Every structure is written in structure tokens, then in C-alpha cells.
Amino acid sequence: MWIRPVAALALVVAAPGFAQGQAAAPVAAPSSAPSPAQIVAAAPAADWVAIAADQLLVMDLAPGRDRAARRVVIQLLPAPWSQGWVGNIRKLAAAHWWDGTAINRVQDGYVVQWGDPFAEDKARARALPAGLQSVPQSAYTLAAGAAPRLEGPRLTDGIYAASGRFYQGWPIAAGSGASPETWPVHCYGTVGVGRDMPPDSGTGAELYAVIGDAPRQLDRNIAVVGRVISGMEWLSSLPRGKGEMGFYRQGKERTPIVRVRLGSEVPGLPMWQYLSTSSDSFARYVDARANRRDPFYIRPAGGVDICNAPVPIRPKP
Amino acid sequence: MWIRPVAALALVVAAPGFAQGQAAAPVAAPSSAPSPAQIVAAAPAADWVAIAADQLLVMDLAPGRDRAARRVVIQLLPAPWSQGWVGNIRKLAAAHWWDGTAINRVQDGYVVQWGDPFAEDKARARALPAGLQSVPQSAYTLAAGAAPRLEGPRLTDGIYAASGRFYQGWPIAAGSGASPETWPVHCYGTVGVGRDMPPDSGTGAELYAVIGDAPRQLDRNIAVVGRVISGMEWLSSLPRGKGEMGFYRQGKERTPIVRVRLGSEVPGLPMWQYLSTSSDSFARYVDARANRRDPFYIRPAGGVDICNAPVPIRPKP
């Protein structure tokens, strides 16, 4: 029995970072059917893909009152989407540009945002490193002809896109038409590039992470560049800002960022891996997310939205 | 200009508790178009409906380290959905049953859960008040014939239901067919009834609030009984539990609940009001959530899911 005593009153087992899928009819099912988490746990080692250290951005926040270390690990979006901004982020990390910056905004149910608190004050703003690109609005999407072939289960995603699929472990939406646009989507934990009004004004120095319901209205309006794969709780549990849009009103409320480094620069960093989105295990996981047949459920939904089928990620066993 | 200096790098203005809609084509629009928040701010007083104090559940948590009061205000779901459980919750509050219980579980991106920490230990469990109902599984939904007429914009909600509409300020999903089922949906901030495996095992003594992406797979599987309308940040920013499913491992990690009362028992409680979901203002708000034409946006989504169009709620001005 996978429900522990006190947990029995507790809804569903849902391993962190997981969620649901698409497929069969919503019928009640044998109580021996595996849960999504059980399918993931049973996936063979060959279905897991290592995440290279140079694809990671490691952000160390100043310790909280309990003195515990607060490390947030972000996986950067792979080519070919958003690579202009991702390249800027690599340069900013290499320059140690974020060291001494802060988390400046926490808006409940929406985003946590970090960067230079004085970015808007010319006299105090931190200079950006040389060589950052100005990335055009057109880079928010890629024509299907310019994008690699998507893989894994095809989700309906009917409201925000014609369909949703996956690429190397990432959820990607696709529009309709003969050669539709494709774009990375905003889900819980997604990291994106804050910008001013001009669509090309975001460099990557100002970043945010989603801490609420998937804000899909941001898709194709802001650049998605990554996702939090470890330490999400250090962002999502921060005190909310009381200023407009969740900005902190006082400097002392901000959480200092001690350092941000590319994973390849961090000695002793653990390895992570994702469940291959072209694997049979992943297809079964998504199907089980869409049609919960494990014992707690009585009415499988018969579908799942792409943000509710998060790609399983785990530390390398 | 509604973007303040430091906020300029900050994505969108989204008033707390708001989100988006459905309707016109996704075309770029004049930069003078109002934002959803501006539409709400301009709604006439007649479009706002008072929430009666006896529809509120007021939960006072023990103060945190900064000694600040932590009050969470929950609006209970109106008849006719889930009223067996809502009736139990009224009895539990009248009996002051939750006083001295605790928040026992915080699972990142999913739920915060509270109730008797010793519910599973017969020797220590707190006795329930007399007269609680055992509510059957069938009460998770209502046939359209048994439900009042829904109102407001009709959203597609294509993955989890045939459509989504509203009733007296609440999002309600509807299935397909001649007399479809209707049910209240799980969104960010939704409050529901924890249960054990048997679908009728939840009394209302064990409650949870959603703190992540809308877990729509829970619809029709657990009873929705309310939503947090004030103090959501006191739940969503709690430290995450390190045990299975986010349960705290040690008793001292739990947040004590000082008291829970019906709003009608709380002296001096402020009043809240919701934007009538049958009003023209609400229809325009939802349309603007679905088709962002305010200056920040370059690509309106052309649609919105029901959890991304949260009904505006505000303190009575």
C-alpha cells in the first residue's frame, strides 16, 4: 500500500515535478493500475537522459533565518529555441554578473523575479557585460520548418495552441497550418526573460520563474529560457512583496543572490537526468496522467494539459 | 502610464486574484486598449456583489517569526454544489473544532493541507462533532437539470470538460450530452476536502488549498468547497514539507492554527465583494484576459482556460 498512515487523508501521491497525460476513455479501472509515479519509478535506466552540467545555471541565495543553504538549479532551454537569450545568460553567468544582485519581486500565484534592483536607476545600475545580443521579437517562436521534429505524445492543448508535444524533455507548443510556429510554453517552474515594453528589450539579466497557475498568455510574448529543476521551494516560499505587482517596497525585504554560475563551473555539483520524452515509459506516464487509474481516482479526466504533464526529472541515482 | 519605473522590467500588471478569457481573434491591437485590471477598476459599483459574512471561513494561523498576524479568509461554495461537505464545515467551525489543529502538509506546486495532525492515530485523534454527514460520491457533480442556469462567458475548457462557465462568481465546468454534469473546478487557491480511499470518506475536517498549477485531474474526484480570497500568501509561502507528499516530518515544523470561525462570528471583519459573473464588465474582463491588447502584449492568446480567468474579488471600497 503506497499511502502512509497520516498521508491517507492526503489526496494523491504526486512526485515533485510530475503532473498528467492524454489518451484512452475516462473509464473506471482496475485498482492495480500503476500511478504515474510508479510508471516513472519502473522506467529502465536506458530511458533516462543525463543533463549536461553546462546546461545548468546554479543560483545560490543568501541563507534564510535558519541558516540553511538555498540553492536553485535551473536547466537552460536547448537549441534551437530562445538561443539568443540563452547565450546572453551564459555570458552573464560567466561574468559573475548576478553576484550581489537580488530577488526583487514575488507576486503570489504568478512570478518570482530577480536581477539588478537598481536596473532602472541610471546612476546606480550595474553595467552589462560586453557582447550581449539584442534578440528580435521574431525569436519568440520558430517556424516548424526551422525546428527539429517534435516527439512523444501529442496533447490537444486546444486553448493556447493547436497541439503540444515535446523535444528532448521540453514541452513545446505548435500552432496550426502547413508549417506552424512552435514555441516553448510557460508552466509552473518555467524561467523566462523579463522585459520592458519593446519586445526586444529583454537581455536575460532580469529573469523570472513561474510560481502559480501556468500563465500561458505569456507564451510568444516573452522568452522562455529554462526551468527550475531543483530548489523550486526556495523561490516559491519567499515572502510576497507588498508593492505593485509584488515588488518589495524596502531593500531589506529583498533576498540577496550570493552567486550564479554555469553548472560546469560548480565543483561537486550532482547530476540530474530527465525521462526521455521519446521513450515508451514517458508515453505511458503521460497516458496515466491523463487517465488516472490508480486506486485513489474514481473519474479519470480523459485528458491533460501540457503543463499538467511535467517531464520527470530526478537526481542521477 | 501604469507601469512604474522599477516595474517596467516586470511583465504584466495582474491584480492579485485575477487572471484571463475567451473570444475575439488574436490580432495585434491599439496600444490604448485597457488591460483586464483596468476593465475591473472601471466596473460600476452596481456590478459588484457583496459576499455575506456567513459565507466566509476565517482561519487565524499562529504568527510567524516576525510576529505579524496571519489571517486566511476562505469563501465557501454556494448552493447547490458540495453542500453536504459545506454543511459539515459550518458545524466544525461552530464547534471551534479546528482550534489547536495545524497545517500538516505543504507540497510544492500542489497543495497545503490542514486539520488534526493525529487524525490517523485512534488514541490521539480529536473527536468529530456530532451530526456530520457522510456525503456520497455522487455529490461530486450535479446533473445540469439539478443545477441552476450558468452565466457569463462560455469558455471552451476543451481538455477537462465540454465547457466552462460561471455561477454567482464561481467557475463551473460542464460535461457534454443532453443534460450534462456540472462541477466546481480546481484552480489556484481552490479549497477542497481531503479524503481517504473511499470516495465518501472526507468529512470536511481535513482541508487543502491549491498552491500550484491547477490540478484539474482532481475535479470530480474530490469535493471542492471554497476558495481563498484573502491571505493566500500565508499558505503559499509556508516552508515545504520534506516528508512524502510534502508532509512535515517533525511536529515542530507544523504551523499551528489558532482558530477557525465562520465570518459571521468574527467581530469587525472587513467585507469583500466579487465582480458579478453575469455583468458586462466581467464579460469584457474575460475577453481581455483571452486577448491581451494592452501595450505589453504583442501576441494575444486568443483564448483562456477557466482557471486563468479568476473572478475578480476585492475588499469593499
Name A75's Cβ contacts closer than 8 Å, sequence gap at least 6.
A51, A55, A56, A57, A226, A227, A229, A272, A313
In this prediction, residue A178 has a pLDDT band, given cuts at 50, 70 and 90, of: confident
Q: Given an 8 Å threshold on Cβ–Cβ distance, is B195 in contact with A19?
A: no
Distance from CA of A176 to the nearest CA of B (A): 13
Q: Which of residues 106-135 of B touch A (CB under 8 A)?
A: 107-111, 113, 115, 117, 119-121
pLDDT in tens, B51-105: 999 999 999 999 988 898 999 999 999 999 999 999 999 999 999 999 999 999 9
Report the residue from B137, B196, B233 with minimal CB separation from A9: B196
Residue A142 has pLDDT above 90, yes or no: yes
Q: Which residues of B touch A14 (CB under 8 A)?
A: 107, 110, 245
Q: Which residues of A touch B255 (CB under 8 A)?
A: none
d(CA A72, CA B162): 39
Task: Evaluate whether residue B259 is within a structural domain.
Answer: yes
The stretch B159-178 carries a mean pLDDT of 94
β-bridge mates for residue B142, sequence order: B182
CATH of the domain at B15: 2.40.100.10
Q: Which of A142, A169, A172 is nearest to A155 (CA)?
A: A172
Task: Evaluate whether residue A160 is within a structural domain.
Answer: yes
Mutate to test the interface with A, among B4, B6, B124 (most CBs of A within 10 A): B6
Number of domains in chain B: 1
Query: Does A303 contact chain B (CB < 8 Å)?
Result: yes
* Residue A228 domain boundaries: 49-118+140-282+310-315
Query: Does A248 contact chain B (CB < 8 Å)?
Result: no
d(CA B306, CA B153): 10
> What CA–CA distances, in Å, run from A315 to A229, B107, B277?
9, 19, 46
Task: Evaluate whether residue B210 is within a structural domain.
Answer: yes
Q: Which of residues 164-223 of B touch A (CB under 8 A)?
A: 187-189, 194-197, 199, 202, 206, 208, 211-222
Mutate to test the interface with B, among A106, A159, A185, A230 (most CBs of B within 10 A): A159
Q: Which of A40-49, A84-93, B150-159 has the lowest mean pLDDT?
A: B150-159
Q: Is the peptide bond before B180 cis (omega within 30 degrees of 0)?
A: no
In this prediction, residue A31 has a pLDDT band, given cuts at 50, 70 and 90, of: low
Assigned C-alpha cell, B53 = 459574512
Q: Given an 8 Å threshold on Cβ–Cβ distance, is B213 in contact with A4?
A: no
Task: Evaluate whether residue A131 is within a structural domain.
Answer: no
> What CA–CA distances, in Å, run from A230 to A94, A226, A273, A303, B150?
21, 12, 12, 27, 42
Q: Which of B116, B60, B2, B28 is nearest to B261 (CA)?
A: B60
pLDDT in tens, A263-274: 999 999 999 999
Query: Across chain B, what does the average pLDDT equal?
Result: 90
pTM here is 0.92
Mutate to test the interface with A, among B159, B254, B305, B311 (most CBs of A within 10 A): B159
Assigned C-alpha cell, A275 = 525521462
Report the residue from A197, A211, A233 with minimal CB separation from B295: A197
Q: Given an 8 Å threshold on Cβ–Cβ distance, is B9 in contact with A217?
A: no
Q: Given an 8 Å threshold on Cβ–Cβ distance, is A10 in contact with B113?
A: yes
Q: Which residues of B touch A206 (CB under 8 A)?
A: 9
Residue A21 has pLDDT above 70, yes or no: no
Q: Given an 8 Å threshold on Cβ–Cβ distance, is B308 in contact with A213?
A: yes
d(CA A86, CA A65): 33
Distance from CA of A296 to the nearest CA of B (A): 5
d(CA A12, CA B249): 18
Task: Evaluate whether residue B167 is within a structural domain.
Answer: yes
Query: Does A95 contact chain B (CB < 8 Å)?
Result: no
Residue A87 has pLDDT above 70, yes or no: yes
d(CA B26, CA B280): 21
Query: Does B303 contact chain A (CB < 8 Å)?
Result: yes
Task: Evaluate whether residue B126 is within a structural domain.
Answer: no
Chains A–B, number of C-beta pairs less than 8 Å apart: 231
The stretch B150-158 carries a mean pLDDT of 91
Q: Which residues of B touch A233 (CB under 8 A)?
A: 108, 239-240
Query: Does B293 contact chain A (CB < 8 Å)?
Result: no
d(CA A298, CA B20): 30
The stretch A173-177 carries a mean pLDDT of 91
Task: Evaluate whether residue B208 is within a structural domain.
Answer: yes
Q: In degrees, to the nearest 5, what angle opens at C-alpha B136 toward C-alphas B130 and B140?
A: 120
C-beta neighbour count of A265 within 10 angstroms: 16
**pLDDT of amino acid B224:** 98
**pLDDT of amino acid B215:** 97
Mutate to test the interface with A, among B2, B3, B4, B9 (most CBs of A within 10 A): B9
Q: Which residues of B touch A300 (CB under 8 A)?
A: 217
In this prediction, residue A179 has a pLDDT band, given cuts at 50, 70 and 90, of: confident
Task: Evaluate whether residue B124 is within a structural domain.
Answer: no
Better-predicted residue by pLDDT, B2 or A281: A281
Q: Which residues of B touch A156 (CB under 8 A)?
A: 158-159
**pLDDT of amino acid B19:** 30
Mutate to test the interface with A, among B106, B108, B183, B291 (most CBs of A within 10 A): B108
d(CA A91, CA A13): 40
In this prediction, residue B31 has a pLDDT band, given cuts at 50, 70 and 90, of: low
Q: Given an 8 Å threshold on Cβ–Cβ distance, is A158 in contact with B160?
A: no
In this prediction, residue B145 has a pLDDT band, given cuts at 50, 70 and 90, of: confident
Q: Given an 8 Å threshold on Cβ–Cβ distance, is B213 in contact with A187?
A: yes
Q: Which residues of B touch A107 (CB under 8 A)?
A: 14, 16
> What CA–CA distances, in Å, run from B103 to A61, A232, A233, B118, B240?
26, 20, 17, 12, 11
- Alpha carbon A284 to chain centroid distance? 22
